[in-house]
Amino acid sequence: MVARRAAEGDNVNPILVATGVNRSFGAVVAAADLNVAVAPESIVGLIGANGAGKTTFINMVTGYLKPSSGSIRCDGRELTALEPRRVTQLGVSRSFQIPQLFNTLSVRENLLVAVGIVAAAAHAWAHSDLSPGRAGTATDEMLERFGLGSYRDRPAGLLPEGVRKLLDVAMALVVKPRVLLLDEPTSGVSADEKFAIMDLVMGAARGVTVLFVEHDMDIVGRYARRVLAFADGRIIADGEPAAVLADAEVRRYVIGEDHA
């Protein structure tokens, strides 16, 4: 297994920690004793074949799925038993492989809904500048940052796929998270658009800890600073992208090369 770099958790206080996390669906093991510590402002790529456990991990961190056992903490706060809305209010947000939008609402209204989830609990959350009175300002700032201004009044259901992806990520970022999880941010996006979209996302997420699931190794190699490789619910390699992508076990189980 590729060793984890010291800079990713040994010399700093990690912002996200998963300890002994397990999840099974009957006889199927989706997560097997996962132990991960992520340093603040890291950019971590999650790779693996379909069904390897990547999205299961994201779902457990964000409250959409409960671990069978183990603990997940963000900045020292236990997330394991919390519902997704509360996880978001504590500074952990996500986007989805298939954008989860309110299709009959406009782009701006979608962003306002996202802000409202956090603003309702601003009194209990560190980012108190997301008060109801600032919802419009925060939304307009995000429209400008993602270049969505020309779509602001268009129903989300009528947007091109690449714009839908951007709106989904913008909804996750408008709540000013400390940790952002992205599930295949470039899936369904044309090869000509993928780098431009990732440049926008990473620019908007500057200063935020980012974990992203991705099958495109060009995206992983360009943007990740650390890579976790999953196979059969386990983490089989963890380290710098070049080292992980060169690992024999990763090349066999993730990239698909036959070393028999």
98/161 Cα distance (integer angstroms): 10
Domains of the chain: 1-81+219-260 (3.40.50.300)
The torsion angles phi and psi of 169, rounded to 5 degrees, stand at -70, -40
Res 189: pLDDT: 82
**How far, in Å, are 26, 39, 56 from residue 234 at the CA level?**
17, 20, 11
Any idea which residue has 């076990």 for tokens? 249
Is there a contact between 93 and 175 (Cβ–Cβ < 8 Å)? yes
Tell me the pLDDT tens digit for each residue of 68-82. 999 999 999 999 999
Q: Which two tokens mark 238?
A: 């963890």
**Above 60 in pLDDT, residue 11?**
no
pTM of the full predicted structure? 0.88
Tell me the pLDDT tens digit for each residue of 117-162. 776 654 444 444 555 556 677 889 899 999 999 999 999 999 998 8
**Higher local confidence (pLDDT), 157 or 190:** 157
221/128 Cα distance (integer angstroms): 36
Average pLDDT, the chain: 88
**Higher local confidence (pLDDT), 30 or 3:** 30
